[in-house]
Structure 1
Amino acid sequence: TVLLHKEAVPRMENPLFSSAFLPLSLLAFVSQVLVSRAWTTPDCTIADSSLLTNLSYYIPFCSLAPGLYLFASCSNIKDVAQTLRAVPQDREALCLQGMGSVLPANAFADFSSLQLLRLQLGNLKVTSKAFQGLDQLQHLYFEHHAPCCLSLFLPPDVLEPLRSLHSLSFQGYCLNSSQNIQLPISLTCLTLRHSCLTKLQELQGLFSNLVPGSTLTASPRPSVYFLEVLDLSSNLQLSQAGVRALHGLQLHSLILDSTPLSSLGLLDSGLLHLDFLSLVDKGIKKLPGNVTGYFALHALDLGRNQIQNIEDPDLASCHSLEILSLHDNGLRSLPIRFLSVLPQLQRLNLSMNNLGPTLVLPGLVSAKLRVLDLSYNELCNLPYGAFSFLPQLQELWLRGNNISSLINGSLEGLRWLKTLDLSWNQIKVLNPGWLSSLPALISLNLLGTYLEHILGKQLQGPHKLHCLQLGSLDMLDIYSPWPPALLSLEVRAEGFIRFIVHNEEPFLLLENLTLQSANAQLFSYNTTVYFPSLHHLTLRGISSYIFSSHQPLKFFPELPLLEHLHFWSDHMDADTMCLLGMPRLQVLELGDLNFLSEFSLVNLEILLKQVPQLQVLVLSHLNPGTLSMSTFRDLGHLQLLLVNSEYSLGLDSNLQELIPQMPPYVFFSDITFTCQCESSWVGPWATRAPNTFVYGLDKSICIADASDYSKTPLLSFFSDHCTHDPGFQGFLASFSLVSLMSILALLGCRKWYWLHNLQNLFHAWWWELCGRGPRRQLYYDVFVSYCEQDQAWVLEELVPALEKPPPMGEGLKLCLPYRDFGLGQDRMDATVANMKISRAILCVLSCQALKSTWCNLELRLATYHLVVRPRMARPLLLFLEPINSQELCSYHRLTRWLQKEDYFDLHQGREDWDSFCEQLRRRLRKVGQERED
């Protein structure tokens, strides 16, 4: 540190030493405060997913609820309280994963903004007040993903503080040991998956206020009575319902997927109301007409069962259905009057069946059907007026069939159709006018077809076509004119995409554009194509020549409103890439570009200078070599930096100069660094960065050269091969000095009257530092500083020798932190206060002590007293083992300021312990007399 450099500090004989050294003294303490503000957390991902919507593609974390962005996802947890101390308290979602943890009382009391809590903590012990203070929590999940169930005990009142809870989920836990759990009345969704339930009746004992009258003890709390969703799926032992098991409960949705419980058992359960029943993957072979008719169900999901044929009698009790899903059942045929006997049906899912050869499309007659899914049914042809008997149809899904052609009139009668999906069919030709009968069409999907040419006149008919997806397995030529209201366009082709534009501007309203191909070309005749409304642009596989400034006619001459550019290319020509004309670009994702050329860093630097408003920068598979300060110098608005899948990456030491403006989030994902000490500054920066969360360095490895195949942990290499980097300490010193000078300037501002009180306090402290304040009464003879590893020797050997009463000893009064600090007192404050009232400071040093944070702090304070306040306690050093003097100097350089008699080497004096103790007592007595004088 700057504090102890001999060259930088004058000798103590200088009368102006104290006042001249004050800024540097404050500087050291400010540096220590900055270091203590670190919030980098091992095994944790902390981020704001609103900055990058596809962040989970690069950084794994748990799933979140819609609308939640500020999250922390931590793994390998052993102590929940210790982990939470390093997590920012403004998180909206928190995911904890580990084993053998305890949730103590008020564990989340500091996280008042928390709305989602996901716990994957194995054998979890939950105390009664664990969730105290979570008034805003809406989603609570207990999850265990191993095959067997774990026992979980919840106190009856543990959920009482959760007044806003909407969703409660238990997965992989057995709650048999819990009884009378009080559910919040705000609860709308209750889930028990992979549990040990055997009867529905067990729910009465688990949750006392779920079912009215379910407990013999009268509860003063209101009952839930109504749930939106009760999910009991994947309970492999749940085979019985029980009479009146759910008596009085009203449900909107009941999910019994993959459970052996027969749906007939629900008839005697006492359930008052049910709208939706899900019976997926239960081996059902016939429609459950009795249950459907009993509850007058509005929705029924029978996916992944074995219903291969449906007879008319099976439909007799299903007249109330509005939603029916029969996907993946192996259906071979439908009754002729299938839809006519389901008069209320609005949504029908028949995907992944075998209806193609037998389905009679003109026989589908319904006056109310709005959504029909016939995907993956081996349909080959769409005859004239195939869906004309479905006049209210709004969504038609025909994905993954064998349709090869669409004749005019195939879609006749669908005047209200808004969504049409024909992707992954064998369509080769589109006839002009095939969309003329679809005036209300908004979304059209033609990905994965065999089309080679798309003519503008083939898309005429719909007046409000907003979303268009086009694709070919080979090449695709696209001709104007385009639908005038187009907002989103996605085009994919294996070979290339060519846009042929004539004398019009076809993309005036386009907001989202995705192009995926080996190449994209623009042929324009006497006109310039503009994208004035484009906000989001995704390019995959296309050469960076599309952005080249050398191109005679640029594909994107200017993009004034573009905010997000996702550009991944498989080509080797990144040198000509230019991003000018994007003044509002905020998110830039670059991947698979070639930056291995001689001017790679220069090219990346020039590229980023063109987009100074960036808030998010993602670099993936770029091979940039070494990242330096010049690369990011102009990105003052950056909020998130993500470097992904790079090999042999170097970080220049001059990047330290950008630490004050580093973004709040820096992620390193799947990175192999080069083993070089020039990058050793990232170790202390990643663990002490005051304003930046750094992810991934603790799991990163480095290689020494191309022939090095060993997996050396990066941080281990730094600690084993690199000396402590003075550059980072120099930065902290200079940054702290600038901050200090700014504060002092503010203190002198006369308009800010409230600062004068602080100024007076500062003056009082100044006079005391200069030795002009009132003398304090000394209470202790010696303040003893030691690390936890040396505590046993200090208490068993050193303390008895120094506190031994006369006449055998001096009877010194020692200050020991573990014994003499007040209960609940801040350790920093206690250390400073007790050093002031001690005659001497004895620092017990060992290799372990030099690695201790508190020993370092106490040694800094002792040095401060020696250099700045010579009338305060004098430090003495007691060495328990040989320590390299260079190692000691690299931490504190204290040896430059001490006299020879201030050193005590125990390893040299073990042969005569009594003589060693007498020498130590004599020096302590002399130091105490000097302090009194």
Structure 2
Amino acid sequence: MGKLQQITLYIVLFGFISPCSAFSLQNCTISTPLRDIQPKVLCYKMGFFRIPWWIPRNTQILDISFNAFAQIQIGDFRHLSNLQDLNISNNRISQIQEGALDDLSNLTYLNLASNRLKAVSSGMLHGLSNLLVLRLDDNNIKDIEESAFSTLQNLKVLNLTKNHLHYIDKVKPVLASPLLEELYIGSNSFDVFNSYEMSTKPLSLKKLDFSNNPLATFQLTDNIFPSLNHLDLSYCGQNGSMTWNVTEKTYFSSVQTLYFMDVNMSPQSVANVLPSFKNSLNKIRFNGNVELNKTNLLLSACFPMLRVVRLNANKIKHLTDNMFDPCFDLTELDLGQNEISKLSQSMFRGFTQLKKLLLQINKLTQITNSFQILSTLEFIDFSRNSINKLTCDDFANLTQVKTLYLYGNKISLIRSCLFKDLKSLEVLKLGTNDLLRIDDAFSNGPHSLKDLQINYNKLSKIEKYTFRNLSQLNSLTLNDNQISEIEAQAFEGLKNLTSLFLSSNKITAKTLTRYPNVFSGMPNLQNLDLYANSISFADNKLKHPPFKDLNQLRVLTLHSQRRGIDKIPSNLLQGLSSMEMFYVGNTNLGHLNPDTFKFSPQLWFLDLSKNALSEDNSIPAELFHPISGLTKLILSRTQLRSLNFLLNANLSRLSTLKAPGNEIDTINKTLIQSLPRLEVLDLQKNTFTCDCHNEFFIEWAMKTNSTQVFYFNRYTCSYPRSLRGMSLTAFNIESCTLNIDFICFLCSSIMVTLTLLLSFVWHFLRYQVIYAYYLFLAYLYDSKKKQTVSTIRYDAFISYNTEDEPWVMEELIPKLEGEQSWRLCLHHRDFEPGRPIIDNIIDGIYSSRKTICLITRNYLKSNWCSSEVQVASYRLFDEQKDVLILVFLEDIPAHQLSPHHRMRKLVKKRTYLRWPKPGEDTKIFWQKLKMALETREGHNPESSIL
């Protein structure tokens, strides 16, 4: 890039023209509209070694994660004072110079996770006075200087997880942030926690995470956590049993949530811990405490305020009748990921307020109405068990249940009586079972159902009126079955359905068009998903358009058909007057009918990616005329060679055009001007030509302040071969700027010189030029004949002028064909009508053993005769066979042959025949001609004939 261009970009970048120059972002993108005054810039995974200097100065959100920064220096963010959110995680940062972040006074969120920081120095975070959230997790931090957090007066969340902090007093400097509410210090190396080493004064902390530390001692001697409501001690004490010493049980009186998963403590020690939370504990997690006695544990943990207990992954096999007696006020019980195989009513008899029961990932084979007494239940999860049978009484009396998960089991049959008591059921998940049919499963409701999922089963048919009694249903998921047949009115009664998912089935075009009302009964359907089926059309127009009843549909998905749609019938979308988004990628489309979208004028999003649209007329411009409001067009990997079909498409509102992975070589000015509202242009991995045809595009992409050209600096040259692989931005467009006056002078001079030269040649060398021209034609025709196998059909081709035709008809033909039975090829008789004359001549000469030229003055004047001589003589030279016979019908002096260079040479080099004068005997002439015709072709003529 030249210095002038750099200066121009600098001006554009810093706002004198516009803060959003697309090329100035190089590898970055702006995820918000360019006209947005607060853009979000994404620069992750770009391989940067330094903070990009070209980021727009008004950027508020910047993501530069997953790069290769080793340090942050003073001045790196000098022009980004408006930043509020900065993600610089997953780099190699080991040093941040003191004062490097001084310019980020408006920053509220800073993510420095997954770097290589070893310490937090006193000046490293200086200037971040408005910072609310700071992530320093997954670094190598061993030390935090005393005044490191002194300027972070508004900090509320600090994450120091996965570092190398060994002593709790190293955390003390972070408490200089007076408003700190959440502190995450898990996965460090703390083996002792003494509260006095952290603070002796009350802290504002509300959430404290100590998880995954090898705590051997937890000692709290002062009430430093008066506001704490969430404490995570999960996986602590793994190097040995943890000792618990809280001098006053009221110190944790505000804690409502306790995570106590897989803590290495004895049952007695746990019994001593839990009373510390007796007065306020609302939620407790005991996941993974497989060594503890569950009954005793619950006796210690179930306090009046406790509402949620999680006992995941505890290898519980049996639930005793009195196990949950102390927890009668629970509203949520999670027993997932255990080994429970049997349930009974007596297990849950003490619960009076239980609303959520989770039994996922266990070994249940049946339900047997084990919780009929739990009339307050609203949520039940039986997913991923081994349930193979459901009875009519399994959910009796559960009138308040709103959500029921039964997916991931082995259920093969559902009876209509199953849902008789589920009056309030709104969400039912039956996916990943063995259902073969639905039949009348929903004939009795549940009438309040809004979300039904029956995906990943073995359904092959949807019968008439299957869902008629589910009038409140909003979403129906039937993905990943084997559905190949849908009866008429199968979805009748689903008047409130807005989303229907039928992807990954065996639906064909016949399935959709067999009945005229296959999708009737869903007047409010807005989203129809049919991708990954076997839909393919052979007709250009359908007798029964399948979507004609869906006039409220907004989104239609047809992409990734297994056999490819091949073509879209002109009336396939009939009825979709409200459709806004259409996905039809990866369907083997080779051509689009101009009338495809005439029924969908509201379309604003169109995805045609991964199709075979390489032909020039595959996408006609008329296709877009009915959808002038289109704003996003996706054409990725469609084998496109040009975007010229957009020139007359009238897409004045198009804002996003993505066509990466094609064979586009040129973008011209007219095309860009035809898209006045274009904001995003993605043409990565195309085959661009680096020549002056792309001069405008290169300059425009580098300077435009209204359109993002995604990753323009990655575009490379494919042609010419000498520039292949070179960056498109490196092409010198200045070489395309020419001096018009000089060009005019040069062209005029060349034209005058050529005129004089041509005049001279025509005047003095006219016949030589004509001769050379015909010789060249003869060479071309001879080369052409070599490529085909020629068959000899005649003994001689007669080359003569039409003025001499009487002699041919009266003398030559009677003698040679009549008396001697030779087969002759004659113009007027044997040439193929309608075929070019020169082609007839070539075929005649090459289909004959000999060529007889009847030379007269008229013959010498004929251009066609001259062509015949050239072709015959070229054959004579090329094949080295005696194939040419010259016959002079009248005396012609040598000086008259001079202009006819070829004829004169032939006369000098070869013996010729002369027609006798009047009164002379003609028998000798005919005898010599007969001998010449009988001469074997293998006889070598003189090689100097040319």
Aligned to 2:159: 169
TM superposition shift of 1:419:
0.7
Question: Structure 1 residues 88 and 574, CA, compared in 2 at 3 Å: closer, same or farther?
Answer: farther
How far apart, CA to CA, are the structure 2 residues paired with 1:46 and 1:574?
34
- Tell which deviates more after alignment, 436-445 or 31-40: 31-40
| Corresponding residue to 1:460 among 468, 472, 479 | 468
Question: Structure 1 residues 339 and 520, CA, compared in 2 at 3 Å: closer, same or farther?
Answer: farther
User: What residue identity is the alignment partner of 1:289?
Assistant: L
User: What residue identity is the alignment partner of 2:284?
Assistant: L
Structure 1, unmatched stretches of 5+, are 5-24, 62-67, 215-221, 731-933
Aligned residue-pair number: 677
TM superposition shift of 1:106:
7.4
| Corresponding residue to 2:91 among 60, 74, 98 | 98
Q: Is the 8 A contact 1:579 1:610 kept in 2?
A: yes
Aligned to 2:387: 379
TM superposition shift of 1:516:
2.1
How far apart, CA to CA, are the structure 2 residues paired with 1:377 and 1:254?
28
* 2:344 is the alignment partner of 1:340: no
How far apart, CA to CA, are the structure 2 residues paired with 1:389 and 1:38?
65
Which structure carries more strand by proportion? 1
Q: Is the 8 A contact 1:286 1:307 kept in 2?
A: no
TM superposition shift of 1:415:
0.7
Q: Is the 8 A contact 2:502 2:531 kept in 1?
A: yes
Deviations 1:140-174 (A, max 9, x none): 433328xxx54363655627646374x44333223
Give runs of aligned pairs for residues 383-782 of structure 1, distance below 5 A.
383-432=391-440, 434-471=442-479, 472-480=481-489, 481-496=492-507, 498-499=511-512, 500-502=515-517, 506-520=521-535, 529-542=548-561, 550-551=569-570, 553-560=571-578, 562-576=579-593, 578-600=596-618, 602-603=619-620, 607=623, 611-627=627-643, 630=646, 634-643=650-659, 646=661, 650=665, 652=667, 654=669, 657=672, 663-666=678-681, 671=685, 676=690, 690-697=705-712, 715=727, 719=730, 722-724=731-733
Aligned to 2:938: none
Q: Is the 8 A contact 1:138 1:164 kept in 2?
A: yes
Aligned to 2:175: 182
Question: Structure 1 residues 590 and 292, CA, compared in 2 at 3 Å: closer, same or farther?
Answer: farther
Deviations 1:161-206 (A, max 9, x none): 46374x4433322344332422767665443443333345579628
Deviations 1:679-705 (A, max 9, x none): 688777766654555544556777679
Aligned to 1:835: none
How far apart, CA to CA, are the structure 2 residues paired with 1:406 and 1:373?
17
* 2:313 is the alignment partner of 1:322: no
Secondary structure of 2:323's counterpart equals helix
How far apart, CA to CA, are the structure 1 residues paired with 2:290 and 2:69?
40
* 2:79 is the alignment partner of 1:72: no
Deviations 1:461-491 (A, max 9, x none): 2331111112323524153214111122111
Deviations 1:485-523 (A, max 9, x none): 112211124321534454995332222222223345899
Structure 2, unmatched stretches of 5+, are 47-58, 209-222, 740-946
Larger RCO, structures 1/2 (Cα 8 Å, 6+ apart): 1
Q: Is the 8 A contact 2:137 2:163 kept in 1?
A: yes
TM superposition shift of 1:307:
2.2
Aligned to 2:280: 273
Question: Structure 1 residues 267 and 369, CA, compared in 2 at 3 Å: closer, same or farther?
Answer: farther
User: What residue identity is the alignment partner of 1:489?
Assistant: L
User: What residue identity is the alignment partner of 2:285?
Assistant: S
User: What residue identity is the alignment partner of 2:325?
Assistant: A
Question: Structure 1 residues 413 and 655, CA, compared in 2 at 3 Å: closer, same or farther?
Answer: same
| Corresponding residue to 1:122 among 116, 121, 125 | 116
* 2:331 is the alignment partner of 1:299: no
Deviations 1:264-289 (A, max 9, x none): 55844845633223344555565341
Give runs of aligned pairs for residues 6-17 of structure 1, distance below 5 A.
none
TM superposition shift of 1:388:
0.8
Deviations 1:352-410 (A, max 9, x none): 21111x64345553121111111111111111121114232111101121111111212
Aligned to 1:243: 245
How far apart, CA to CA, are the structure 1 residues paired with 2:81 and 2:608?
30
TM superposition shift of 1:26:
12
Q: Is the 8 A contact 1:319 1:343 kept in 2?
A: yes
Question: Structure 1 residues 470 and 268, CA, compared in 2 at 3 Å: closer, same or farther?
Answer: closer
- Tell which deviates more after alignment, 463-472 or 278-287: 278-287
TM superposition shift of 1:308:
2.7
User: What residue identity is the alignment partner of 1:392?
Assistant: Q
Secondary structure of 1:591's counterpart equals coil
Question: Structure 1 residues 665 and 108, CA, compared in 2 at 3 Å: closer, same or farther?
Answer: farther
Kindly name which structure, 1 or 2, has the bigger radius of gyration based on alpha carbons: 2
How far apart, CA to CA, are the structure 2 residues paired with 1:434 and 1:58?
51
Q: Is the 8 A contact 2:536 2:564 kept in 1?
A: no
Q: Is the 8 A contact 1:97 1:120 kept in 2?
A: yes
Aligned to 2:298: 289
Question: Structure 1 residues 306 and 549, CA, compared in 2 at 3 Å: closer, same or farther?
Answer: closer
TM superposition shift of 1:244:
2.3
Q: Is the 8 A contact 2:96 2:124 kept in 1?
A: no
Aligned to 2:226: 225
TM superposition shift of 1:84:
4.0
How far apart, CA to CA, are the structure 1 residues paired with 2:284 and 2:726?
54
TM superposition shift of 1:421:
0.7
Aligned to 1:820: none
Identity %: 15
TM superposition shift of 1:594:
2.0
TM superposition shift of 1:651:
5.2
Q: TM-score, normalised by structure 1?
A: 0.61
Q: TM-score, normalised by structure 2?
A: 0.60
Secondary structure of 1:484's counterpart equals coil
* 2:121 is the alignment partner of 1:141: no
Secondary structure of 1:449's counterpart equals coil
Q: Is the 8 A contact 1:628 1:654 kept in 2?
A: no
Secondary structure of 1:48's counterpart equals coil
